[in-house]
Structure 1
Amino acid sequence: MATTTSTDKPRIGVIIGTTRKARFADKPAQWFMELARQREDMEFELLDLRDFDLPFFDEVASNLWVPSEDPKARRWQETLAGFDGFVVVTGEYNHSVPAVLKNALDQAYKEWMRKPMGFVGYGGTGAARAIEHLRGIAVELQMVPLRNAVHIGGGEFMKVHPLGENGPMESIAYAIEPAAKAMLDELSWWARATKAARAADSNQSEQAA
Structure 2
Amino acid sequence: MTTTTSPHPLSVAVVTGSTRPNRRSLRVAEWFVGLAAEALAGRADVALLDIADFDLPLLDEPTAAAVGEYTRDHTLRWADAVAEFDAFVFVTPEYNHSMPAALKNAIDFLFAEWTDKAAGLVGYGLDGGVRAVEHLRLTLAEVKVACVRSSVPLSLSGDFDGDAVVPSPRARAICDRMLDELIDWATALRSLRTESVS
Structure 1 unmatched runs, 5+: 161-165, 204-209
TM-score by length of 2: 0.91
* Aligned equivalents of 2:163, 2:24: Cα separation in 1: 13
Closer, same or farther: CA 4–194 of 1 in aligned 2, 3 Å: closer
How many aligned positions are there? 194
CA RMSD across the alignment: 1.8
Q: Does 1:202 align with 2:194?
A: no
Unaligned runs of 5+ in 2: none
The answer (yes or no) to whether the contact 2:27–2:163 under 8 Å persists in 1 is no
Q: Which digits, 9 at most, give the CA deviation of each residue in 1:112-153, with x for residues without a partner?
A: 000011111110111100100010111111110111011001
| 1:58 counterpart SS class | coil
The residue number in structure 2 matching 1:36 is 36
Q: Is the 8 A contact 2:4 2:187 kept in 1?
A: no
More strand by share: 2
1:47 alignment partner, one of 32, 46, 49: 49
* Amino acid aligned to 2:165: M
User: What aligned pairs does 1:144-155 form with structure 2 within 5 A after superposition?
Assistant: 144-153=146-155, 155=157
Q: Which residue of 1 aligns with 2:12?
A: 12
Once structures 1 and 2 are overlaid, which stretch shifts more, 24-33 or 73-82? 24-33
Name the counterpart of 2:21.
21
Letter in 2 for 1:191: A
Q: Residue 102 of structure 1: CA displacement?
A: 0.5
The aligned residue for residue 116 of structure 2 is 114
The alignment partner of 2:22 has SS state of coil
Q: CA deviation at 1:6?
A: 8.8
Instruction: Decide whether aligned partners of structure 1 residues 4 and 193 sit closer, same or farther in structure 2, where only a CA change above 3 A counts.
Output: closer
Whole-Å separation in 2 of the counterparts to 1:118 and 1:185: 10
> What residue in structure 2 maps to residue 105 of structure 1?
107
- Written as runs of structure 1 = structure 2, the 5 A alignment for 1:184-199 is 184-199=179-194
Q: Aligned equivalents of 2:108 and 2:101: distance in 1?
A: 11
Give the direction of change, closer, same or farther, for the CA distance of 1:115–1:5 in structure 2 (3 Å limit). closer
Q: Distance in 1 between matches of 2:164 and 2:11?
A: 28
Q: Is the 8 A contact 2:90 2:120 kept in 1?
A: yes
* Aligned with residue 94 of structure 2, among 84, 92, 95: 92
Query: Displacement, 1:64?
Result: 2.2
Q: For residue 129 of structure 1, what is the aligned residue in structure 2? A: 131
Per-residue CA deviation, residues 73-100 of structure 1 (Å, 9 max, x unaligned), is 1110111111101111110111111011
Q: Which has the larger radius of gyration?
A: 1
By how many angstroms is 1:154 displaced?
5.4
SS in 1 for 2:150: coil
Q: Counterpart of 1:207?
A: none
Q: Is the 8 A contact 1:60 1:66 kept in 2?
A: no
TM-score by length of 1: 0.87
Cα 1:18/1:47, change in 2 over 3 Å: same
Residue type matched to 1:137 in 2? T
Name the CA distance, whole Å, in 1 between partners of 2:7 and 2:73.
28
